[in-house]
Structure 1
Amino acid sequence: MQAYQSDPEYYTGRAFGLLESAEDGTPGAVAAFGDLPRDENGARTALARQHGFATWRELLKHDVGDEPFARAYRAIESRDIEGLTAIVDEHPEVVNVSGTNGNDLLGMAGATCDERLSKVLLDRGADPARGNVHGWTPLHQAAYSNLPPLIDMLLEAGAPTDVSARGDGGTPLVVALFWGNREAAEKLAHHSLAPGNLRVAAGLGRIDLLGTAGGEHRQFYRPHSGFPRWKPADDPREALDEALTWAARNDRTEAVEALVARGADLEADVYRGTPLLWAAAQGKVAAVRKLIELGANVNAQATFGGPGHGKDVTALHLAAQNNALDVIGVLLDAGADPGLKDGLFDSTAAGWAEHCESPEALEVLVRVAGDC
């Protein structure tokens, strides 16, 4: 693997991510450790060895300089189409080189949300099926970023749809559904429903599959190590409650209603967010209305996102963070309390709006608080 960064903090973050992925049992990450201990020191050494260095210190001392891979990476970061084209035409081998944790240029290009960069690389032989040590392929990245045009491009180039990343069942479709990226999910679902479990049926709104889909292949539960570790239980009730959050975050109101009728708990916080919190965070107005109609507590406080992000948060906090004015209106009309404070920052929803630079949400919430 080719080193291409000079920032020590970058490598520290990648080592932490490698350790987290290995703890999840992801094969590529487990293999990277070999006989090294699965701790922070072992992760640093494993990362150094991936790059051809014996020690962490040697990796950090390495000067990437003007190496072609590093130059291509910088062109991608700056979205320099002409620069990237010139580099890969002069050094065609770089499209097959992998950087830290197995990330290649095509995977990096997808993270910029500029499909033109990916096209340059695909036209020059980049492999759309190659995954990094987490199993994450360019198609996973396109699903994560909700980029239907890039999904089309990758599928046409032969990208596989049934590969799992970060745990069994973590296909590109599941990644799209995790974030409520309906456009990406619907495009991927035309090619594959893998893994076809209850969370997928719920997220796609496939009422016809809800009665037959089960809770298997749920080892994928986070798209990156910013979310804490969790072990899904082999419990049909937990899978049912979790599926409700997947229906909510994808605005599938019929699936929401069907799952609640089957006994799904409106207040269950199966993994970092109740159904209402997920719907509010993703700006899914119809799902927010439906959940409230079915009896969801508009002022319920629960976890959300990473451990340093959401503790005792309400749906109003999350809607304010994302400037989701329609959702804020529905929540306030249903009795959401703008004075409630979260458990980490001791802040109201207005405070979240201010911190996250959501000016319209801040204006609404300040006005409402003044009227109370």
Structure 2
Amino acid sequence: MPTLGMPDRPHLDSFRRQARALQRAVRAGDPEAVARLARHHPGGVPDDVGGLRLSAAQFVLAREYGFASWPRLTRYLETAAEHGWDARLGARPVTDPAEEFCRLACLTYSREDGPARWARARALLDRHPGLTTGNIWAAAAAARPDDVGRLLAEQPRRAVERGGPFRWRPLYYLVYSRFDPAVPAERVLAVARKLLGAGADANEGYLFNALPPPFTLLTGVFGHGELGRRRQPPHPHWQALGRLLLDAGADPNDAQTLYNRMFEPDDSHLELLFAYGLGTGDGGPWKRRIGELDEPARMLRVQLRWAVEHHQPARVRLLVEHGVDFRSPFEGDGPAWSPGDGRTPVELARLNGDTEIAGYLLAQGAAPPGPDPVHELIAGALRADRSALNRVRAEHPDAVEEARRSRPGLIVWAAARGGSEAVALLAELGFDVNAYGRGDAPVEEAWETALHHGAANGDVELIRRLLDLGADPGLRDRRFEATPLEWARHLHQPAAAALLEPVTAPQPGVE
């Protein structure tokens, strides 16, 4: 697992300097540098640190950034230099109407995305209807097959030239364009066929701020992401366009698509990708470029974990029906919301109080988990099963204390799931209603409080109950430094805001 974060614009020279600095520090006997060497170098700390070779320091640095070796890191940096995408460009207006249209028309996977931006693109095209005639990137973004065909006839190389405000190739502008939800399918598909026929790559992709995994053409087709369907919707003709790209050789094992679409229960993207081999093969050209990307089978195991923990029973069934391993424990490093903690899918389902998914997995042949009083107590609380809680407490008096010790932020997870009764039960058990935790995944990380999630979801009943239990409306979350009231306002939850406003102390200097 990486211990250092990749910078926004990584450059090999910077990493070379870091490696030399580490080498010098180790040779000087710096305790922190020696400890880094001990953690990551297979040979440990040599008897004579004064003779440490640069290659050893390079290896340690590569491991700290999550790469198996220095050559793997340097290869990744070369890939990032060629395929990098600076997301900040989406917020920078340009004077040329054709380029500004491209900038406004396309998804950028930044806070800039949304219908208001695309309306500005439509207005710009109305004012400058000829902006697509001499600019193939704008012609692609506007889905103008006649302009694209003429420009390709003049210079076929244009199909693979990078340009426009983001330095993308034309097909990418077509696929990421959202300016017109009513754009005719025949225009979109005609442009895609012309570009593919002229040499465009169906596996085209870019590294968002130089970070893996790549945002591919398929990523743009399927849309969605952390800002939701409204601000990052799928392409209006995602099914037909997705099939066209997959028929042209796009690899269905698209990690960013799987991530962007996992937040909502709709499985239509998975059904299409499974039809083209999702979960099989070697991971395609991007896996060959970046060896640290997950194998296809592991990608789907991560999807299974998310579906189990977020009560997506239809997705669990779909994944199991397509051969995803549902029996083995999750092991090895993983993202914070999919840790390799040694639990099986059925154990996770039971731990989250999800009897439906647990029952399905058991019926499919999963091994029933052994007894665990702490897990049984947590599961009982999350499903608001007081009788189960009373039984566990009677049989295992220490289970409550151990549950509070191991899951101090559990009440945040319960609140995010909309569990008003579960929150009340956890408070009875001594869980702190003002504890910090994560609501997007059942892992311990001090992000926000339960009251923040009541505000975000507009759950007036939960907010009232939390306030009655002693929740502090003045606490700020640890990522955005905002109060629950500010969350409610930002997420357009007027009823929640009206309830929180009278009990939230005004910010100094703000009326």
**TM-score normalised by length of structure 1:** 0.59
Q: What does residue 34 of structure 1 align with?
A: 71
- Seen in structure 2, the aligned counterparts of structure 1 residues 300 and 63 have a Cα distance that, compared at 3 Å, is same
Aligned partners of 1:323 and 1:353 also within 8 Å = yes
- Given residue 358 of structure 1, which amino acid in structure 2 is its aligned partner? Q
Q: What does residue 305 of structure 2 align with?
A: 174
Aligned partners of 2:437 and 2:447 also within 8 Å = yes
C-alpha distance in 1 between matches for 2:268 and 2:168 = 32
Partner of residue 203 from structure 2, selected from 89, 92, 97? 97
C-alpha distance in 2 between matches for 1:357 and 1:302 = 23
Task: State the shift of 1:361 in Å.
Answer: 0.8
Q: What does residue 278 of structure 2 align with?
A: 159
1:281 aligns with 2:381: no
C-alpha distance in 1 between matches for 2:494 and 2:344 = 35
Is the radius of gyration larger for structure 1 or structure 2? 2
Aligned partners of 2:415 and 2:454 also within 8 Å = yes
Q: What does residue 67 of structure 1 align with?
A: 169
Task: State the shift of 1:171 in Å.
Answer: 2.8
Q: What does residue 108 of structure 1 align with?
A: 220
| 1:126-167 alpha-carbon deviations (Å, 9 max, x no partner) | 1675335xxx16445433443223333333444239975797
- Given residue 174 of structure 1, which amino acid in structure 2 is its aligned partner? R
- Give the root-mean-square deviation of aligned CA atoms: 5.0
Q: Secondary structure of 2:265's match?
A: coil
- Seen in structure 2, the aligned counterparts of structure 1 residues 172 and 128 have a Cα distance that, compared at 3 Å, is farther
1:267 aligns with 2:367: no
| 1:240-275 alpha-carbon deviations (Å, 9 max, x no partner) | 77x998x699x6567x968x94848543566xx822
- Seen in structure 2, the aligned counterparts of structure 1 residues 320 and 98 have a Cα distance that, compared at 3 Å, is same
Gap runs ≥5 in structure 1: 1-10, 52-61, 215-235
C-alpha distance in 2 between matches for 1:81 and 1:174 = 38
- Given residue 130 of structure 1, which amino acid in structure 2 is its aligned partner? P
Q: How many residues align?
A: 302
C-alpha distance in 1 between matches for 2:313 and 2:179 = 27
Gap runs ≥5 in structure 2: 1-5, 16-61, 85-161, 208-213, 225-232, 282-293, 330-342, 506-511
1:337 aligns with 2:471: yes
Task: State the shift of 1:316 in Å.
Answer: 1.0
Larger relative contact order (C-alpha < 8 A, sep ≥ 6)? Answer: 1
Partner of residue 463 from structure 2, selected from 319, 324, 328? 328
Task: State the shift of 1:340 in Å.
Answer: 4.6
Partner of residue 302 from structure 1, selected from 436, 441, 445? 436
C-alpha distance in 2 between matches for 1:115 and 1:13 = 28
- Seen in structure 2, the aligned counterparts of structure 1 residues 352 and 108 have a Cα distance that, compared at 3 Å, is same
Q: What does residue 359 of structure 1 align with?
A: 494
| 1:257-302 alpha-carbon deviations (Å, 9 max, x no partner) | 68x94848543566xx822212212434464455446x25252412
1:48 aligns with 2:150: no
Identity of aligned residues (%): 17
1:212 aligns with 2:369: yes
Task: State the shift of 1:357 in Å.
Answer: 3.5
Task: State the shift of 1:99 in Å.
Answer: 0.9
Partner of residue 345 from structure 2, selected from 197, 200, 204? 200
Q: What does residue 233 of structure 1 align with?
A: none
Q: What does residue 142 of structure 1 align with?
A: 261
Task: State the shift of 1:109 in Å.
Answer: 1.9
Q: What does residue 94 of structure 2 align with?
A: none
Q: What does residue 318 of structure 1 align with?
A: 453
Q: What does residue 88 of structure 1 align with?
A: 192
- Seen in structure 2, the aligned counterparts of structure 1 residues 128 and 191 have a Cα distance that, compared at 3 Å, is farther
Q: Secondary structure of 1:84's match?
A: helix
C-alpha distance in 1 between matches for 2:467 and 2:369 = 37
- Seen in structure 2, the aligned counterparts of structure 1 residues 278 and 186 have a Cα distance that, compared at 3 Å, is farther
- Given residue 110 of structure 1, which amino acid in structure 2 is its aligned partner? F
- Seen in structure 2, the aligned counterparts of structure 1 residues 347 and 159 have a Cα distance that, compared at 3 Å, is closer
Aligned partners of 1:143 and 1:185 also within 8 Å = no
Task: State the shift of 1:305 in Å.
Answer: 7.1
Aligned partners of 1:106 and 1:138 also within 8 Å = yes
C-alpha distance in 2 between matches for 1:171 and 1:357 = 31
Aligned partners of 2:416 and 2:439 also within 8 Å = no
